[in-house]
Amino acid sequence: MIGQHNTDEKTLAYINLFAVLGTLENLCKIDDEAKAIIARKQVSIGFAVEDGPAAALFFDHGTCRLKNGAAQCQIRLPFSSIQKFNGMIDGTVTPIPSKGFLKLPFLLKGFTGLTDILTRYLKPSPEELQDPAFFEKSTTLMFYTIASAVSQIGNHDKVSQASASYMKDGIIKLSIKNGPTASICVKDHHLTTVKKVPKAPDASMEFGSISIARDLFDGKVNSLACIGTGDIRMSGMISMLDNMNRILDRVGLYLA
Rounded to whole angstroms, the Cα distance separating 13 from 15 reads 5
pLDDT in tens, 48-81: 999 999 999 999 999 999 999 999 999 999 999 9
In this predicted model, what pLDDT tens digit does every residue of 177-190 receive, in sequence order? 999 999 999 999 99
pLDDT at 11: 98
Q: Is the pLDDT of residue 3 over 70?
A: no
Whats the size of the chain, residue-wise?
Answer: 256
Question: Collapsing DSSP states into helix, strand and coil, what is residue 198?
Answer: coil
CATH for 128-255 is: 3.30.1050.10
Under 8 Å between Cβ of 61 and 41: yes
3-state DSSP assignment of residue 66? strand
pTM (2 d.p.): 0.95
Could you please state the CATH topology (level 3) that the domain comprising 9-122 is classified under: Nonspecific Lipid-transfer Protein; Chain A (3.30.1050)
Residue spans of the domains in the chain: they are 9-122, 128-255
Sequential DSSP letters for 10-39:
HHHHHIIIIIIGGGHHHHHHH-HHHHHHTT
Q: pLDDT digit string (tens) for 188-228?
A: 999 999 999 999 999 999 999 999 999 999 888 888 888 88
